[in-house]
């Protein structure tokens, strides 16, 4: 059993910059089929090199508040293809659609896949389990739905020659409302090249403020461990780890973070990790490139001082 087309569903293009990586992931998996991108309306340009076609599913009722509608639209579109493989990224909205799609189609689903290979008609995927401490493999036939962990997968090149088709979709609307979260100053955590992250070692809200100051000064994003968020020092949206975001910046500066696996699974693909902690035995040092055994607040204060632009007044921070 061969399958003709692999569908990449990219529902949140303008909501998630990593969507282009899904194309390069699919290309790397060498599936030997057509690759077609399915896109929701007003979600940006999905023309990536390697795709055979981009199809925009058109309906007023399609949007981030309506995952049921999106799943139905995708299911209706691909129902002609009896052996479809459908790939999604693993951002929340995509996950919502993917699991609903798999349920509608009555097919197996594996989420947060880190690799995919195909032999004849058998697909093999792997994912991290037990908070990222072990790897679980699965095997199944098509049809199937996978969501993919695209951390550190580079995006495919753009290609304006890819044909774009618009297809009317009949979708039930719902009454839910989507609101974009307040845009913070500075780069978005998910895609920032530099992240300053704080944990319990910050001691209190004043310590947290140091993280914010340094991030702003270095033009980086703010991250936090679960403990620091639970303590009320940082917003939930800054959480990095199992229950928060997965990031892979060029530099991840972990201040006062012990490095439990629930946290490190969300940042272990960072290119360079700097860890600052008073405990020399803290597990964060196991995956750090550079380590400093010191009080996080003192080190942050010193870093702010020493990385300030020359001539800037101290009180500007």
Partner 1 sequence: MKVLVLVKGVVDPGPQPSLSEGRLTSGDVVLDHYGKYALEAGLQLAQDQDDQGSVTAASVGPDSETALRDALALGAQDAIEVKTDQENAGLADILAQAVNKEGPFDLVLCGDQATDDSQGVLPAQLAAALGWPLVDAVDALGFVGPRLCYTSLLDKGAVKGTVQLPAVVSVLDTINKPRLPSFRLKMAAKRYQIKEFQAESSQKDPLEKLEMEEVPASSKEVIMVDSVDDLIRALDQVGIRLKKE
Q: Which is nearer to partner 1, 37 or 282 (CB)?
A: 282
Structure tokens at 135: 């790897």
Q: Name the 3-class secondary structure at 112.
A: strand
Task: Identify residues 20-59 at the interface with partner 1 (CB under 8 A).
Answer: none
The distance of closest approach from Cβ of residue 135 to partner 1 in the complex, given in angstroms and rounded to an integer, is 4
Q: Name the 3-class secondary structure at 72.
A: helix
* Of 2-10, 45-53, 156-164, 293-301: span binding partner 1 (CB under 8 A): 293-301
Q: Which is nearer to partner 1, 51 or 73 (CB)?
A: 73
Task: Identify residues 232-261 at the interface with partner 1 (CB under 8 A).
Answer: 236, 239, 243, 245, 250-251, 261
Q: Which of 51, 162, 274, 296 binds partner 1 (CB under 8 A)?
A: 274
Q: Are 52 and 112 in contact (CB under 8 A)?
A: no
Q: Are 55 and 40 in contact (CB under 8 A)?
A: no
The distance of closest approach from Cβ of residue 302 to partner 1 in the complex, given in angstroms and rounded to an integer, is 4
Pairing mode, strands 134-141 and 122-129: antiparallel
**Site map 97..136 versus partner 1, x via CB under 8 A:** --xx-xxx--xxxxxx-----------x-xxxxxxxxxxx
The owner of tokens 């007023």 is 60
Task: Identify residues 200-219 at the interface with partner 1 (CB under 8 A).
Answer: 218
Burial, 228: exposed, middle or buried (Cβ in 10 Å; 0-12, 13-18, 19+)? buried
Task: Identify residues 137-196 at the interface with partner 1 (CB under 8 A).
Answer: 137-141, 174-181, 190
261 Cβ partners below 8 Å, 6+ apart?
Answer: 131, 132, 133, 242, 283
The owner of tokens 């998996």 is 29
Buried b (16+ CB within 10 A) or exposed e, 23-36: bbbbeebebebebb
Q: Name the 3-class secondary structure at 116.
A: strand
Q: Which is nearer to partner 1, 91 or 212 (CB)?
A: 91
Q: Which of 5, 37, 55, 64 binds partner 1 (CB under 8 A)?
A: 64
Q: Which of 30, 172, 204, 286 binds partner 1 (CB under 8 A)?
A: 286
The distance of closest approach from Cβ of residue 219 to partner 1 in the complex, given in angstroms and rounded to an integer, is 10
Q: Which is nearer to partner 1, 47 or 112 (CB)?
A: 112
The distance of closest approach from Cβ of residue 24 to partner 1 in the complex, given in angstroms and rounded to an integer, is 20
Q: Which of 119, 306, 314, 316 binds partner 1 (CB under 8 A)?
A: 306
Q: Name the 3-class secondary structure at 80.
A: coil
- The Cα–Cα gap between 105 and 3 comes to 16
Count Cα neighbours of 284 within 13 Å in the Cβ-side half-sphere. Answer: 33
Based on the shown chain and the rule CB under 8 A, indicate whether residue 2 belongs to the binding site for partner 1.
Answer: no
The residues with which 145 forms a beta bridge, in sequence order, are: 86, 109
* Of 50-58, 165-173, 198-206, 291-299: span binding partner 1 (CB under 8 A): 291-299
- The Cα–Cα gap between 218 and 306 comes to 11
* Of 32-40, 60-68, 157-165, 197-205: span binding partner 1 (CB under 8 A): 60-68
Based on the shown chain and the rule CB under 8 A, indicate whether residue 4 belongs to the binding site for partner 1.
Answer: no
């Amino acid at each position: 059993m061969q399958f003709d087309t692999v569908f990449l569903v990219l529902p949140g293009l303008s909501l998630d910059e990593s969507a282009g990586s899904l194309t390069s992931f699919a290309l790397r998996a060498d599936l030997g089929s057509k690759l077609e991108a399915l896109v929701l309306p007003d979600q940006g340009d999905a023309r990536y090199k390697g795709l055979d076609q981009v199809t925009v599913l058109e309906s007023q009722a399609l949007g981030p508040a309506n995952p049921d509608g999106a799943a139905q639209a995708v299911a209706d579109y691909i129902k002609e293809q009896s052996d479809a493989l459908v790939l999604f990224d693993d951002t929340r909205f995509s996950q919502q659609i993917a699991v609903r799609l798999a349920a509608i189609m009555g097919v197996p689903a594996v989420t947060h896949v880190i690799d995919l290979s195909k032999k004849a008609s058998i697909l093999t995927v792997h994912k991290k389990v037990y908070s990222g401490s072990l790897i679980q493999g699965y095997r199944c036939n098509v049809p199937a739905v996978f969501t993919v962990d695209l951390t550190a997968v580079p995006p495919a090149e753009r290609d304006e020659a890819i044909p774009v088709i618009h297809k009317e979709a009949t979708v039930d609307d719902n009454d839910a409302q989507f609101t974009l979260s307040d845009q913070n100053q500075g780069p978005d955590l998910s895609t920032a090249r530099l992240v300053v992250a704080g944990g319990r070692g910050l001691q209190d809200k004043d310590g947290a403020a140091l993280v914010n100051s340094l991030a702003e000064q270095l033009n980086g994003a703010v991250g936090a461990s679960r403990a620091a968020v639970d303590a009320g020092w940082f917003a939930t949206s800054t959480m990095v780890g199992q229950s928060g975001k997965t990031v892979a910046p060029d530099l991840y500066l972990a201040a006062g973070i012990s490095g439990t696996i629930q946290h490190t699974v969300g940042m272990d693909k960072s290119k360079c990790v700097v860890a600052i902690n008073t405990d020399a035995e803290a597990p964060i040092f196991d995956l750090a490139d550079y380590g400093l055994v010191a009080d996080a607040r003192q080190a942050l204060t010193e870093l702010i001082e020493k990385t300030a632009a020359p001539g800037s007044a101290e009180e500007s921070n």
